[in-house]
């Protein structure tokens, strides 16, 4: 469970997050939706201290992230898996080395155990046997899947995903969404997913927050979302003709 | 001026992060040997070629400029030796390495920054500054002195070959080479080189690590890195020469 309370964040004069509070529940895929530039990426990065917050509190199962020492923060971060918008694979390492990297860094497992774990994770994202490929040889969807494998290799308690399916075709996008959903349930992870893709919302939206111009505008689940009367939310959700028609039905 | 102070402040904050004990020695050793190769070994051939030709040119020019028969011909060996050891090898080679190694450090770190690879390290709980930069600094500080010594040696071979072409005999050249040789000059050159290696690796790392934006920013960071470290090398060359030799 991750709880944020009254988060404020400025970039210079740009007030990016305004008094944001939310509870991200354990074992659920918590969604943050909002249009481009609304502050979704910033919110995720602020959670884990990649950007400093101006004020507010971030609690990881009750632990105040910003009140603990850097060393403790690093330990906590080892329990967090993160999927970056562009994958952020280390480009001088192969797929296998990328996924094995956290294991090399933080565990005392033997080489055989490490390889076993890597292969398990690769299989989990349906990329078995792709160990030797380099990041430059992967397609967009494969890159995201390797990044997921790397994010889960240490069995994180928290999984943060920044637009896991941006730039993917709808079918691959749904595969990725479901993968995240399954992993979340399977290991009882607190998962946060940033997205502006309505397909994802319908697929995996259990606990949704709509962020607009840096403010939390609406909270609920996907059924509530469809029946909401919130104007900004409706403008966002039913932006496309397809969804407008669905709303009428 | 405030911008300079701002950079200086950030530089020291970064260096404080860089200088910390590696978390995992076996990973660190691997990183270090990779950097030794990138920072050092890959520059050996460049250093050899440059030093040979500059050595040759220095001795040819000295001998042409000393056409006065009163001047002993062993002066060519002596002058080439001193100019190679005191200035060319430590300073000029360092400037050239600032271009080659500095730009590669800055662009590597810059592209890791803009593709969020540095964030990915941080989020794993790794001190990214130390993990990425420390091996580069150690590799440079350790390897550059060897490059400089290679440069001195090859430069003198070049000078000897150049001397032969202007009718300086090998015996005269060798006599000049050994004439009133001050071994301290070599230590002086190595001390300078260590300073320069530190400047090149940390300043370039600073600009790469703090890149903001996209691919264009990476290019800009690597240019800034080369320009700044070159200027700093010249500045420190002046300061160090003043302190050590006078
Ligand atoms: N490092 C930064 N420095 C300055 N401003 C930033 C920085 N990162 C983001 N911003 C600003 O913060 C605002 C929110 O950006 P953010 O990246 O969080 O949006 P987003 O909701 O993730 O958008 P997208 O869906 O396009 O990824 C934007 O106005 C952006 O210009
Ligand atoms: Mg974003």
Domains with residue ranges and CATH for chain A: 2-248 (3.40.50.300)
Among B27, B112, B117, the residue with its CB nearest the CB of A104 is: B27
Q: Count of CB contacts below 8 A, A vs B?
A: 52
CB A190 within 8 A of CB A24: yes
Beta-carbon separation of A105 and B117 below 8 A: no
Beta-carbon separation of B117 and A90 below 8 A: yes
Contacts of B125 in chain A (CB under 8 A): 73-78, 106
Complex ipTM: 0.87
| Residue A249, pLDDT score | 66
| Residue A134, pLDDT score | 96
CA within 13 Å, CB half, B94: 35
CA A130, A133, A135, A139 dihedral sign is negative
Backbone angles phi, psi at B21, to 5 degrees: -65, 130
| Residue B95, pLDDT score | 95
Tokens of B187: 């230590």
| DSSP string covering B37-96 | IIIIGGGHHHHHHHHHHHHHHHHHHHHHHT--TTS-TTHHHHHHHHHIIIIIIIIIHHHH
CA B151, B156, B158, B159 dihedral sign is positive
Average pLDDT, chain B: 91
Torsion of CA A181, A185, A188, A192, to 10 degrees: 20
Q: Residue ranges of chain B with pLDDT lower than 70?
A: none
| Cα B152 from Cα A196, distance rounded (Å) | 61
Structure pTM? 0.88
Average pLDDT, chain A: 90
Closest-approach residue (CA) in chain A for B123: A77
* Partner A contacted by B182 (CB < 8 A): no
CA within 13 Å, CB half, B84: 33
Q: Which residues have a Cβ under 8 Å from the Cβ of A127 and sit 6 or more positions away?
A: A95, A142, A145, A146, A149
Helix axes B170-178, B75-83, angle to 10 degrees: 50
Nearest alpha-carbon partner for B34 in A214, A90, A183, A36: A90
Q: Residue ranges of chain A with pLDDT lower than 50?
A: none
| DSSP string covering chain A | -EEEEEEEEEETTEEEEEEEEEEEPTTSEEEEE--TTSSHHHHHHHHTTSS--SEEEEEETTEEGGGS-HHHHHHHHTTEEEE-TT----TTS-HHHHHHHHHHHH----HHHHHHHHHHHHHHTT-TT-TT--GGGS-HHHHHHHHHHHHHTT--SEEEEESTTTTS-HHHHHHHHHHHHHHHHHHT-EEEEEE--HHHHHHH-SEEEEEETTEEEEEE-HHHHHT---HHHHHHHT-SHHHHHHHH-
| Residue B92, pLDDT score | 93
| Structure confidence by residue, pLDDT tens digits, B28-51 | 999 999 999 998 889 999 999 999
Among B24, B26, B117, the residue with its CB nearest the CB of A88 is: B117
- CA B187 – ligand 2 centroid, Å: 53
Extents of the domains making up chain B: 26-63+70-245
Beta-carbon separation of A74 and B126 below 8 A: yes
């Amino acid at each position: 469970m991750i709880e944020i309370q009254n988060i404020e964040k400025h970039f210079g004069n740009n007030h990016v997050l305004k008094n944001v509070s939310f509870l991200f529940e354990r074992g659920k895929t918590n969604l943050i939706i909002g249009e481009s530039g609304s502050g979704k990426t910033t919110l995720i990065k602020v959670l884990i201290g990649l950007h400093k917050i101006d004020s507010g509190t971030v609690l990881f199962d009750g632990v105040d992230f910003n009140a603990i020492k850097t060393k403790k923060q690093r330990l906590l971060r080892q329990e967090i898996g993160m999927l970056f918008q562009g994958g952020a694979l280390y480009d001088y390492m192969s797929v296998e080395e990328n996924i094995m990297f956290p294991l090399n860094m933080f565990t005392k497992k033997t080489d055989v155990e490490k390889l076993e774990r890597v292969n398990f994770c690769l299989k989990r994202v349906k990329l078995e046997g792709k160990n030797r490929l380099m990041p430059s040889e992967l397609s967009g969807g494969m890159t995201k899947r390797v990044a997921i494998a790397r994010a889960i290799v240490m069995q994180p308690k928290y999984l943060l995903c920044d637009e896991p399916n941006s730039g993917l075709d709808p079918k691959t996008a749904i595969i990725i969404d479901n993968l995240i959903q399954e992993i979340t349930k399977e290991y009882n992870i607190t998962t946060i997913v940033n997205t502006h893709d309505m397909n994802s919302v319908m697929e995996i939206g259990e606990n949704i927050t709509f962020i607009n111009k840096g403010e939390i505008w609406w909270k609920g689940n996907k059924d509530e979302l469809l029946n909401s009367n919130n104007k900004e939310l409706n403008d966002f959700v039913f932006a496309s003709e397809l969804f407008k028609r669905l709303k009428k039905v | 001026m405030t911008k300079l102070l701002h950079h200086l402040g950030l530089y020291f904050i970064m260096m404080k992060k860089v200088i910390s004990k590696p978390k995992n020695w076996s990973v660190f050793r691997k990183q270090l040997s990779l950097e030794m190769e990138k920072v050092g070994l890959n520059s050996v051939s460049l250093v050899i070629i440059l030093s040979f030709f500059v050595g040759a040119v220095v001795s040819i020019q000295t001998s042409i400029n000393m056409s006065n028969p009163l001047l002993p011909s062993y002066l060519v060996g002596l002058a080439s030796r001193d100019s190679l050891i005191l200035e060319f090898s430590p300073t000029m080679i360092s400037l050239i390495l600032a271009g080659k190694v500095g730009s590669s450090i800055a662009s590597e770190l810059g592209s890791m920054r803009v593709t969020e690879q540095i964030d990915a390290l941080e989020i794993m709980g790794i001190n990214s500054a130390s993990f990425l930069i420390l091996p580069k600094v150690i590799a440079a500080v350790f390897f550059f002195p060897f490059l400089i010594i290679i440069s001195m040696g090859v430069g003198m071979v070049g000078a000897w070959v150049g001397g032969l072409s202007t009718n300086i005999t090998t015996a005269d050249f060798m006599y000049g080479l050994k004439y009133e040789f001050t071994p301290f000059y070599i230590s002086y050159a190595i001390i300078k080189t260590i300073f320069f290696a530190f400047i090149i690796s940390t300043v370039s790392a600073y600009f790469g690590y703090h890149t903001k934006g996209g691919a264009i920013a990476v290019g800009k960071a690597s240019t800034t890195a080369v320009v700044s470290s070159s200027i700093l090398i010249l500045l420190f060359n002046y300061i160090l020469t003043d302190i050590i030799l006078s």
